[in-house]
């Protein structure tokens, strides 16, 4: 299959390796000409994946038109804040080429100003006659480990189910296992909102807190994700799977996680601007915290961890104020939240 990966960052590069290993004809698109030359001539991408050698079959181009012309499947591996612009450019090129493609994105976040999931953005931007389907690939999949061909499992979802099966076939290898999931909303919400929790847990680590509070934030954070996701139409069981619990565990506990590391930097005294600049890569959890805070208000969903993290990031509340806001909340029952989720799922299934 002819596949173009749009984006030459760490995850886009590791996915190009997976696709190439599965005997696809892979082209990568990047704006940085030095990176494009390095991929084509040295078969490395040292800025993002040190000490990783790329197969010579992976080609790179600085021409978005060439990438669009090559593709039967477009893999959008760009940050959420660039997605609408890049998709618009691709839609225009597909019109000129008079062709249709399958589009799959791998971004994990919500659009800042609209609070929309990425697939909703892509549905708005791409003309219906330019795409066969729009899908997402998501799950616990650090690029650094995928590039080393360590066993990895992810989920594929699409607006129409047959698109997810094509994505599954394109990516499936003996080390990269892809499951089809019919819950597009749940897959995208789980992948986006786990970054909020990872930021919070990273801050806990930076302040020197131990495992007890980290486990509490991860567990209660999963409840928050499920509450909002279910309100938006997701199946709550999705959040117990790879794109919920799985991605949350790996992102909130790993040194590879840029959201976790950003939280540590903030706790260490850096400003938000300093921490994100120091990362050298987009920290999706920052904008997603903003978007989710507003979305929770819009849908009247209780998300105390998100609310406190929003205050910590953008309103300069102190560490003490943050913990006081969480620990001194009104008494409640743990099972009550689970009961509400189950009742919501039963109600959705009856409609």
The per-residue pLDDT for range 115-140, each reduced to its tens digit, is: 999 999 999 999 999 999 999 999 99
3-state secondary structure labels for all residues of the chain? CEEEEECCCHHHHHHHHHHHHCCCEEEEECCCHHHHHHHHHCCCECCCECCCCCCCCCEEECCHHHHHHHCCEEEECCCHHHHHHHHHHHHHHHHHHCCCEEEEECCCCECCCCCCEHHHHHHHHCCHHHEEEEEEEECCCCHHHHCCCCCEEEEEEECCHHHHHHHHHHHCCCCEEEEECCCHHHHHHHHHHHHHHHHHHHHHHHCCCCHHHHHHHHHHHHHHHHHHHHHCCCCHHHHHCHHHHHHHHHHHHCCCCHHHHHHHHHHCCCCHHHHHHHHCCCCHHHHHHHHHHHHHHHHCCCCHHHHHHHHHHHCCCCHHHHHHHHHCCCCCCHHHHHHHHHHHHHHHHHC
- When comparing pLDDT for 128 and 160, which is higher? 128
Domains 2-182 and 185-350 share a fold: no
When pLDDT is cut at 50, 70 and 90, the band that residue 316 belongs to is confident
High-pLDDT (> 70) share of the chain, % = 92
When pLDDT is cut at 50, 70 and 90, the band that residue 330 belongs to is low
* Domain 185-350 class, CATH top level: mainly alpha
Provide the residue ranges of all domains of the chain, joining segments of one domain with +. 2-182, 185-350
CATH of domain 2-182: 3.40.50.720
The per-residue pLDDT for range 248-283, each reduced to its tens digit, is: 999 999 988 999 999 999 999 999 889 888 888 788
pLDDT of residue 348 exceeding 70: no
Name the active-site residue from 99, 100, 116, 194. 194
Residue 194 designated active-site: yes
- The annotated binding site is made up of 7-12, 31, 48, 108, 139, 141, 143, 194, 247, 257-259, 282, 284
- The annotated binding site for sn-glycerol 3-phosphate is made up of 108, 139, 141, 194, 247, 257-259
- Residue 317: its pLDDT value, please? 82
- Residue 279: its pLDDT value, please? 82
- The annotated binding site for NADPH is made up of 10-11, 31, 48, 108, 143, 258, 282, 284
When pLDDT is cut at 50, 70 and 90, the band that residue 347 belongs to is low
- When comparing pLDDT for 189 and 323, which is higher? 189
Burial 94-129 (b: 16+ CB within 10 A, else e): beeeeebbbbbbbbbbbbeeebbbbbbbbbebbeee
- Residue 323: its pLDDT value, please? 67
């Amino acid at each position: 299959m002819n596949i173009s990966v749009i984006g030459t960052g760490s995850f886009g590069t590791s996915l190009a390796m997976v696709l190439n290993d599965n005997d696809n004809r892979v082209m990568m698109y990047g704006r940085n000409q030095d990176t494009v030359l390095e991929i084509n001539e040295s078969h490395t991408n040292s800025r993002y994946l040190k000490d990783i050698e790329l197969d010579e079959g992976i080609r790179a181009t600085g021409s978005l038109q060439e990438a669009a012309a090559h593709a039967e499947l477009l893999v959008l591996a760009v940050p959420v804040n660039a997605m609408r612009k890049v998709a618009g450019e691709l839609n225009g090129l597909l019109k000129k080429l008079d062709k249709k493609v399958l589009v799959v994105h791998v971004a994990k976040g919500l659009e800042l100003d609209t609070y929309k999931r990425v697939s909703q953005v892509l549905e708005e931007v791409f003309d219906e006659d330019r795409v066969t389907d729009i899908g997402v690939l998501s799950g616990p999949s650090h690029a650094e480990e995928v590039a080393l061909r360590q066993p990895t499992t992810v989920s594929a979802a699409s607006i129409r189910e047959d698109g997810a099966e094509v994505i599954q076939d394109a990516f499936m290898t003996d080390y990269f296992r892809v499951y089809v999931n019919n819950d597009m909303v749940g897959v995208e919400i789980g992948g986006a909102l786990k970054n909020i929790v990872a930021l919070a847990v990273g801050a806990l680590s930076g302040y020197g807190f131990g495992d007890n509070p980290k486990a509490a934030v991860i567990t209660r954070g999963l409840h928050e994700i499920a509450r909002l996701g279910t309100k938006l139409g997701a199946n709550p069981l999705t959040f117990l799977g790879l794109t919920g619990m799985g991605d949350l565990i790996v992102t909130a506990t790993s040194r590879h996680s840029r959201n976790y590391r950003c939280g540590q930097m903030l706790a260490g005294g850096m400003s938000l601007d300093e921490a994100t600049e120091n990362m050298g890569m987009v920290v999706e959890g920052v904008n997603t915290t903003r978007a989710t805070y507003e979305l929770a208000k819009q849908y009247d969903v209780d998300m105390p961890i998100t609310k406190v993290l929003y205050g910590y990031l953008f309103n300069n509340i102190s560490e003490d104020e943050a913990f006081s806001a969480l620990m001194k909340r009104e008494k409640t029952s743990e099972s009550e939240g689970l009961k509400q989720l189950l009742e919501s799922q039963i109600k959705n299934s009856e409609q």
